[in-house]
Amino acid sequence: MLNIKEPCSIELRDRKAIAPDGSSVSIEDIAMEAFHLEDHEQIMGTASYVSPECPAPFAAQFAEIEMDIDTGQVTIIKLVMAVDCGVAINPVTASGQVEGGMLQALGYAHCEEYAFDETGKMINDSLGPYKIYRADEMPDFEVFLVQTMEDSGPLEQSCR
């Protein structure tokens, strides 16, 4: 759309892709063009940033399991997670956030999967055959908020 040879020279700013010569096209127009092309390709990008002022997040997770060595069946008994969160302004909410993430990760790692038949059709495309944990199947879980004094954020809470 911008007819340039070096895609790396495009600058993304103000919801536009801007070429070195100043010509631009909106991100919306790029998305619509990519969506409607017959042989379209995915638009993908990755990025990361490490703040020079904020420390990296620290956490540790543990799982107590039982495993039947004959069948390979794994039963999760307990999940524990310790999170260095700085000073938790609202410990109940912070613990709830960690619990939700732990339980989502448990399902993803232990029982949730997309299953397909030989033709590529998804065969567990509803909540009937798609296995997720029910409330009565959840293992015990415990969250430890390791509250350390961290002055990178206001009120000495972590900026993580």
Q: What is the mean pLDDT of residues 28-32?
A: 85
Whose structure tokens read 């004094």? 149
Q: Is the pLDDT of residue 104 over 80?
A: yes
Q: Can you give the pLDDT at residue 156?
A: 55
CA distances from 94 to 5, 88, 141, 146 (A): 48, 7, 15, 11
The predicted-structure confidence for 118-158, as pLDDT tens digits, reads as follows: 999 999 888 888 888 888 989 999 999 998 876 666 655 55
Q: Is the pLDDT of residue 7 over 80?
A: yes
Architecture of the domain delimited by 58-156: 2-Layer Sandwich (3.30)
- Sheet of strand 11-13: strand arrangement: 11-13, 16-18, 24-26
* CA Rg value for the chain: 23
Question: Cβ–Cβ contacts within 10 Å for residue 37, how many?
Answer: 9
Residue 68 phi/psi, 5° resolution?
-80, 110
83 beta partners: 59, 145
Q: Can you give the pLDDT at residue 55?
A: 72
Q: Rounded CA gap, 91 and 100, in Å?
A: 14
Q: What percentage of the chain carries pLDDT values higher than 90?
A: 39
Please state the domain extents for the chain. 1-47, 58-156
- Lookup: tokens for 60: 């540790």
Q: Is the pLDDT of residue 26 over 70?
A: yes
The predicted-structure confidence for 71-83, as pLDDT tens digits, reads as follows: 999 999 999 999 9
Q: Can you give the pLDDT at residue 41?
A: 66
Q: Is the pLDDT of residue 62 over 60?
A: yes
Q: What is the chain's mean pLDDT, rounded?
A: 85
